[in-house]
Chains A and B, each alone.
Chain A
Amino acid sequence: MFTINKKAKNLSIALMAIGLIALIFGFASNPHGAWPALLFNTYFYLGISVFAVFFVAMQYVSEAGWSIVLKRVPEAIMGALPAFSSIMLLIMVASIMHVNHIYHWLHEGIMTVGHAEYDYIIAGKEPYLNATFFIIRTIIYLLGWNYFAKKLRSLSLLEDREGGTAIHFKSVSTSAWFMVFFAVTSAMASWDWIMSIDAHWFSTLFGWYVFAEWAAIGFTSILLFTLYLQRQGYLKDVNESHIHDLGKWIFAFSLVWTYMWFSQFMLIWYANIPEEVAYFTARLEVENYKFLFWFSMIINFVLPVILLMSRDAKRHNSRLIFVSIIILIGHWLNSYLLVAPGTLNTHGHIGFTEIGIGLGFAGLLIHLTFKTLAKEQMEAKNHPMLDESKHLHT
């Protein structure tokens, strides 16, 4: 049974306190800049927590046995999903009520012919981009993800108590349904929440790009929690091979993310069509973002590739922790770049509000994950492939 270490508890509370101060400071000093800061941080941490659901579902669907001994870690990260979903919902409700100005296409009159704000390109997107449908979609995504998270978690706990393969196969089919649902909704959520900020622009691989980012930070978080718990003396069955496998995933998804990043960038750069290129000029020709744009690409791609390439590196805990932290920072900067240029243009900068909210959410994630972990036995029992996982050897 897991008990929260006093140091970790104090740390998470301190982080949450910083986050709260940053939130109050941000909204008091510059609400126009605080909303995008809140949005990109929520996007980042919601990604981590919803990816944990994906991870669990992926193991069931692919009948993978290796991960069973650390299964409770992603399941615990899932515990943070309701909180981050609520924050995301709050931001979206505030958006459609015109409390904030994150989404340009929600402006009054932008879709009314003859209005001073009328924009015929955005008006053409009205069937999809309208406040009612938008909020309904957001609710469907969030409710759906939370439903599947709860369902998978309760099936897993039921398996611990009752055993038998019937529950396992129920989990497999639930996971398969989640996969289908998530394939559609993760892409649509990325269009709604992030891509529609730059409403004129669109990219057909944006959904995969966002998914690859969520996967990279999701695997990284699972690894960091696993290593922490191991150091605290839990998860006795997790051996070097499990850590190696997680390292491979991080390495692979850093590459997938870069592949998506580059595919999107190069085609637009090469074709040089004004309506497409506007997205990158907003990033590359504004002093605030130019450095971050290349910098985030380097630390999300070059460093993980060099530092994690060899087999030994993926079995070396301190190296893995170092790279994981770099990846988390890199993708956090990249999430900032997804939101800030479209909302704040030349006024965006990373300050106390952005970093503070990021740290506060990290505290919230740690707090909720440990709270969920402490509720149940750390080791999964009765899973049909548990024994295989204990003997993993690669």
Chain B
Amino acid sequence: MIEVNKLTKVYGKKQNKFVALKNISFNIPNGSTVAIIGKSGSGKSTLMHIMSGLDRPDEGTVTIGGHTLHKLKKKAMDEFRAKQMGFIFQAFFVEANQTVYQNVSLPLEIGGIGVRKRDTMIKEALERVELTDKINGKAGDLSGGQKQRLAIARAIVTKPNLIFADEPTGNLDSTTGDKIIRLLFELNKSLGSTLIVVTHDHELAAKCNIIITLKDGAIVSVENSETPKQKATSSVKRVRKVKAVL
């Protein structure tokens, strides 16, 4: 369970003061798919950064699996992130000059996993994203969709409980984007990890079972359709609603 409780984040001082998040609270059950939506400047990325422990709130707490993130010491926070979280970015952030294998190896090296175990885990992750045939190829030689699949492999290789995806389809054409969305949801099912997506993509947001809508740093709505049945019946309605927000 992820518990976000009364989060507030303020940037700047006095005249330059900007409230990025205002008293944000919600809970996310384990294994959920969550979309955080809102217009630019609504506080989506700030919320993701705080939830992932990359940034600190001015007020409030984020508790993941009983650990209150911002009470953890720096070293423990880094370790927690290395073991419990995976990240997918819009710009992929793959090391172009390194091989696919070396790119996926990075989080395992950071987590201090031994070479043999690492090898098995990398191959397994690449198999899941269907990049086994590119294992020794340079990451820079991959297409956009392949790069994002590589980034997904890097995010899931440590089998994290929580995957953050920041605009994962933002740099992809719609066909490739759809494939990536399908892959993310398949992995969510097969791995049982919680997927938190920050997105402008209404198709992607509508597929998530929790949609958190932000506006000017505050929550406008938290829409929850826990069961597949609920999801199916409200799907068209949800897409329309998300489109209206974005």
A binds B: no
Question: Footprint of A on B, CB under 8 Å?
Answer: none
Question: Footprint of B on A, CB under 8 Å?
Answer: none
